[in-house]
Structure 1
Amino acid sequence: MQSDVAIAQAHQLEAIETIAAKVDIPEEAILPYGRSKAKVDPALVPTERKGKLVLVTGMSPTPAGEGKSTVLIGLADAFSLQGHRTVVAIREPSLGPVMGIKGGAAGGGYSQIVPMEDINLHFTGDFHAITSANNTLAAIIDNHIHQGNELGIDVRRITWQRCQDVNDRSLRNVVTGLGGKAHGVPEQTGFSITAASEIMAILCLATSLEDLKERISKVVVAQTFDGAPVTVAQLNAEGALTALLRDAIQPNLVQTIGGTPAFVHGGPFANIAHGCNSLIATDTALRLGDVVLTEAGFGSDLGAEKFFDIKARAGELNVDAAVIVATIRSLKYNGGAARDVLNQEDLGALEKGVCNLERHVENIRQFGVEPVVALNEFSFDSDAEREWMHQWATSAGVRLVDVAAWERGGEGATDLAQAITEQWDQHSHSLYDPAEGIEASIRSIATKIYRADDVELSKKARKDLEYLKANGWDTLPVCISKTQYSFSDDPQALGAPSGHVLHVRELLPRIGAGFVVALTGDVMTMPGLPKRPAAEKIDVEDGKIVGLF
């Protein structure tokens, strides 16, 4: 079996100008990055949205892998094969998962976005630009304090952290400014991964360069000795940060193996951020295509909830159809089967674990959309297991379609495309009204989506809530940072747990992004590398990258 990177490298890429022409992107709007990648200026494409938006999410992720991006890309190529003017709009991969354990986000097999090695590594430099802007702001804050601290910033209350796009647990908690007076003021701080930074969230929710600058100016970086918030505008830094992000805000155009145009832009994680590609890329795609395929990270409890309640609210988006990606292997894992026996037939574990998929279906329905379940095929799935899944779907009133996109590309997802066309034009809505307050919003998500019985705010979170209320921020939408492996805040509670308590330990204002982050359980904004990181397998041979999935 060929590796993903070998399949991608064997594929003959079309010139990026040819890809752009498929959706009538004007030549003057294309800013090429070599022969196969380009930035697109959204201001130079039609302004009216005309496309139907299909949201792809998944069941709760497991070590077995679900293939959400693979299904999405294959589905896009299937729509193209059926004559639809199709555009993909998904997130950029982070080096954290690429060098860590999860892998990239460019699909797999014959259902990939290419050039996959470029996309999974440096791409067009967006992540580097976001990292640079983030860390420039950190340097400006430290310099302001070193140069006399005119704003009266309390060093103990600086909330802005540096970031980098690689998992590095050693940087979670650090002390800077050591070495004497000439080297700055000592401060206890830390690093987040770039995907979790507020600059990433802002770039992914901004509607224009002007909006980007306005959002950056509102970012709260610290408190004064009197407890008043300190913003980027007070540091006069919004102009410099916007300059660093001027090119990064423009969507990146690439292509699928099937030749479908694809915008790959922005990359917030769904477990510690809002988990959606940039709003500006999705909007541009909707103005160019008749069908737009987009994703929400992880499952309905994380990326999809945030898509409906944060991104769709901010961008006035309607989801015309939704897909939930599932695999028999992952369902068996949720049913208690050990990872090393997932390739063996086990109807008992499958029956026990299907409750996880049922919960995700119920969740998507709460947003006004009837989902289609895409059963991503693996060669290890037995005929009996596949038959059981279809019997379950019939009895549960769920539309379930087998997908073989990894092996057959778009041709392996044509039945899924047909199923979606038969039930789109749906009308989505959000789950809660932010005007009721942060605590009420968290409780709505916890009880309706996670099936928790209660929400418990720590002493620190209660103090944060008072700070939010004092500054008029507690009517913003909430972005809950939670483990992706469970509906609860306990990653070991698989299946479909209910009756638990959601533990909120901290509330963080992200005023530039336009939401409040609620940290739950022990989720961290800087992941660590596994015992055997994927980086150990990546190499360069004869000038070609190998070992990349």
Structure 2
Amino acid sequence: MTKTKRMTDLEIANKAAIKPITEIAQSAQIPLEAIEQYGKFKAKIDINQLKNVASGKVVLVTATSPTPAGEGKSTVTVGLADALKQLNQKVMVALREPSLGPVMGIKGGATGGGYAQVIPMEEINLHFTGDLHAITTANNALAAIIDNHIHQGNELQIDPRRIIWKRVLDLNDRALRNVIVGLGGPVQGVPREDGFDITVASEIMAIFCLATSLENLKERLGNIVIGYSYDREPVFVRDLGVEGALTLLLKDAFKPNLVQTLEGTPAIIHGGPFANIAHGCNSIVATETARKLADIVITEAGFGADLGAEKFMNIKARQGGFAPSAVVVVTTIRALKMHGGVAKSELSVENVEAVEIGIANLEKHVDTVRAFGVEPIVSLNRFITDTEHELEIVLNWAKENNIRIARTNVWEEGGKGGLALAKEVLEVLDQPQNFHHLYETSDSVEQKITAIVQKVYGGLGVQFTDHAKKQIAQIERFGWDILPVCMAKTQYSLSDQPTLIGRPENFVITVREIIPKLGAGFLVCLTGDIMTMPGLPKQPAALRMDIDKDGEAIGLF
């Protein structure tokens, strides 16, 4: 295969010599009876057929605060796995599933890029094996059952004004954020205000990713609080008696998906919550399955270390009962220059001063990883416009601060471009870590949120709206204050204000609402202007997509 920088990610993926999924399963020592094929190149794994105990070490890939220039976190994740495979390591990738919201919106897919991709790229980025559709259906089935219960006499005395369960859609559609349902007369239902979230923000998505078995999935679904009665008591899914039906809708989706990288490294892709409005990690089942099959599991968490990595440590690792053995922090010269105040249109011009200023953002994310007691390794992801002088600024900074760093060029070179990073990771994996959470679940809600704001974001403290204060009092009354917290915050800044780039100081985070997610096992704290149903940009990616006469996709990235 001739490598050329002019080829798009989709063109590179389409030219790849993809192996039958049975061959990938065999290389990962997955019994054929544990494989349920979805065509030639995708399969579900029946986890009940895997008997060995999980013992593989987990390497988490995170990044600096994202910028419109892109950092390439998923690309580095895939490239690192391929590099470790080249070093004869038994390795697997564990990623999240792409959402059609960003695929059709502004961000694009989530399968990596260049010569560090998971394939079949087109199928993974579109409907894949239907997991997100199953989650959407289960979520909306519950919504329909709630409205039908009220229509049919409301035995549970559900207060229509206090229903917190929303419908979902796996697309960005701002027009659906606030709607009214049940109009048209008595036979159409009971009118009430409602709204839509994007599927990845659904509590069922979070439950799907945190459940450890079908039995645990069913129990968690039963624990969902859908709203409150006229007496202001919580109403659970188990009160409606439909947790079994919801589990049935998810039973096939709950099996992890097996695919491959361009270099034939086995990859598991399963679950897809966003990290700015949810907990941002792939499923525990996928990670544990990979740990059974490989010595090293490379996984990622959404956006920067202030979001996905923090939630991986405080939520996923806590509930999954494992710890990361190393953490990679991905950054680029382009991202550092943007955090140093450079406009996207000027990124190709050398600007050493902006790099020096922007390093402050990288430094905070490195400090955050170290606060969890894990050794960070910086991946300096190369772009063609980077100058040697700019690169030397970051490399010298890392050396002066005793921070491991490696130049990475996996987009252009695949696993070969990640060998330096892989060697650094292997050195860290040979060393003991002192992983710990940044708060105890026994801490108060205010203490937990304050710990994240001060230790992870670098802020002064937290301001709670009157509405949030009332919700905290209610949470304490019901004994839900023992749950960890899931912060919903802008990804573009360490603060809750998207325009405060770099490493802002002396800021206060405003928590405007706290939503109990008892099935998932955490409290969602909405900050700033964060939305749980994104909107499309002025020029959505969908405008560039097409299909040719042979049925091949065009413009997918």
Task: Verify same fold: TM over 0.5.
Answer: yes
Match of 2:503 among 490, 496, 518: 496
In 1, Cα distance between equivalents of 2:434 and 2:319: 16
- 1:145-188 CA distances to partner (integer Å, 9 max, x unpaired)? 00000000000000000000000000001001111111001111
Indicate yes or no: 2:152 matched with 1:147. yes
- 1:58-92 CA distances to partner (integer Å, 9 max, x unpaired)? 00000000000000100000011111111111100
- Whether contact under 8 Å (1:319, 1:427) holds in the other structure is no
State the Cα RMSD in Å: 0.7
In 2, Cα distance between equivalents of 1:369 and 1:516: 25
Gaps of 5+ in 1: none
Match of 1:479 among 479, 486, 494: 486
1:4-15 equivalence runs, <5 A: 4-15=9-20
In 2, Cα distance between equivalents of 1:383 and 1:240: 59
Amino acid at match of 1:413: G
**Which residue of structure 1 aligns with residue 56 of structure 2?**
51
SS for the counterpart of 1:216 is helix
Amino acid at match of 2:554: V
Q: Give identity over the alignment, percent.
A: 56
**Which residue of structure 2 aligns with residue 248 of structure 1?**
253
Amino acid at match of 2:57: K
**Which residue of structure 1 aligns with residue 207 of structure 2?**
202
Instruction: Name which of structure 1's ranges 359-368 and 435-444 shifts more when overlaid on structure 2.
Output: 435-444
- 1:494-546 CA distances to partner (integer Å, 9 max, x unpaired)? 00112211100000000000000000000010000000000011111121011
In 1, Cα distance between equivalents of 2:479 and 2:426: 44
Indicate yes or no: 2:410 matched with 1:405. yes
Figure out how many residues of one structure are paired with residues of the other and give that number.
549
**Which residue of structure 2 aligns with residue 533 of structure 1?**
540
- 1:35-73 CA distances to partner (integer Å, 9 max, x unpaired)? 000000111113312211100000000000000000010
**Which residue of structure 2 aligns with residue 66 of structure 1?**
71
- Whether contact under 8 Å (1:73, 1:107) holds in the other structure is yes
In 2, Cα distance between equivalents of 1:210 and 1:150: 27
In 1, Cα distance between equivalents of 2:353 and 2:434: 37
In 1, Cα distance between equivalents of 2:323 and 2:514: 29
In 2, Cα distance between equivalents of 1:241 and 1:482: 29
- Whether contact under 8 Å (1:450, 1:498) holds in the other structure is no
In 1, Cα distance between equivalents of 2:540 and 2:422: 36
**Which residue of structure 2 aligns with residue 470 of structure 1?**
477
In 2, Cα distance between equivalents of 1:82 and 1:338: 39
Indicate yes or no: 2:436 matched with 1:429. yes
In 2, Cα distance between equivalents of 1:537 and 1:324: 31
In 1, Cα distance between equivalents of 2:175 and 2:113: 32
Amino acid at match of 1:437: S
In 1, Cα distance between equivalents of 2:202 and 2:326: 30
**Which residue of structure 1 aligns with residue 8 of structure 2?**
3
In 2, Cα distance between equivalents of 1:498 and 1:388: 23
Indicate yes or no: 2:353 matched with 1:348. yes
**Which residue of structure 2 aligns with residue 543 of structure 1?**
551
Gaps of 5+ in 2: 1-5
The alignment's TM-score, normalised by the length of structure 1, stands at 0.99
1:36-435 equivalence runs, <5 A: 36-424=41-429, 425=431, 426-435=433-442
- 1:78-112 CA distances to partner (integer Å, 9 max, x unpaired)? 01111111111110000011000111110000100
SS for the counterpart of 2:323 is coil
Q: Which runs of 4+ in 1 moved over 6 A?
A: none
1:437-476 equivalence runs, <5 A: 437-476=444-483
Q: Report the Cα offset of residue 470 of structure 1.
A: 1.0
- Whether contact under 8 Å (1:87, 1:293) holds in the other structure is yes
In 2, Cα distance between equivalents of 1:102 and 1:439: 33
Indicate yes or no: 2:525 matched with 1:518. yes
Instruction: Name which of structure 1's ranges 389-398 and 328-337 shifts more when overlaid on structure 2.
Output: 389-398
Indicate yes or no: 2:512 matched with 1:505. yes
In 2, Cα distance between equivalents of 1:357 and 1:418: 21
Q: Report the Cα offset of residue 19 of structure 1.
A: 0.4
In 1, Cα distance between equivalents of 2:222 and 2:473: 23
